[in-house]
Structure 1
């Protein structure tokens, strides 16, 4: 279990314990001597929980014995570094990016809508290098290569999770890295699209208006005990990870509409082949 998921599991349990006790965040924060915002950030998984605070919460919630030992162990494991944190800081400088990778490590399903670039889980080495170099101002060669290695490392999860990727056709027409790189990328995509656990659909360029036109997004699903769904959004200078039920539901409906509008998987393979021929 990744540190990100351990933290989510810990904080979800702390929130459950507070609600079971019938106490508000204000009441608990005042009792243990922290601010309401600090406790809220802990319950939302935005920050870790230090041992003195954790033990103060145990006192308030009357947590003892094996349950306390388990939660302390979970807290310690959540504080460990994930593999992605050993790469150069510039490749993981945004908190939500760290959250994405941490959740990706444990996700059972990933639904991805790609508007401008292909999903990092489906990129070739050369395509990833071209995207990172083009999108990152003043990136060092080392920073670019670290970013490439991170994306390739993330792809090791493809054998375990269920990936459904809807790709706006414009992303297939843009010659990222040049014709040779793009041709190899589309060939790679065709091969992956025939994998048992990967579905690829192309949203044909004829659809000029669609609900994904405002930007790409990723929906991650994690099975129990965490039983979590989250949406990852990314921009040039920002990213965000949304976990609110209403927010997630909106993006799930959006994804359902997009894949209904997109070509079928078989038609998408044919359209991929057509786009491949444009890069001879």
Structure 2
């Protein structure tokens, strides 16, 4: 199953799904006293909060039934990441791939953690769009509105990122042309790390003559709007050259 297929399956089935009644009531009374009822619930229930409890039930057969559910196999067994502090979750959201970053998108409520997760390269544009769609459909108050706005803003940023990288790659196809050198140079001060990284990846595989063209072009003040921009580009080029040595 591809990352996109996995993401779409778990999000459509379990994204922030909550029982129609509080979980403690869902598992109270006769259910609490009858292991077979809890086993039946574990086999047929699709609410994460309920299955999480049953997966740790005192009865082994109940635990087994819950841990053999699709939910547990696809999502539940990876939830330990939610128990970390905010700093660690932000780091996971920024650096981890499947399944951890998807678990954070599914359950985490912290705006900063979700911002990092939505910027993660593992999370494709289609995934961001699905996240927004499901969040909008759920629409549970101010918190969801805040998360939706964060996601919408990141979606626009990601779209711009794709356009910029496509422009860079097109210029790189004929990288010896002076106008293409200048086109690439102007993106070296972009605020998006991924855009700058794409340029570094391109220049890291070029021969010395191409790099010389970039250095010569970067030495000309007239191509830059400010001294800071000029300095930033020269510094980035020097860093790339040092990395190649």
Which structure is higher in strand share?
1
Work out whether the TM-score is over 0.5.
no
Structure with max Cα Rg:
2
Which structure is higher in helix share?
2
With the length of structure 2 as denominator, give the TM-score of the two structures: 0.28
Higher relative contact order (CA 8 A, sep 6+): 1
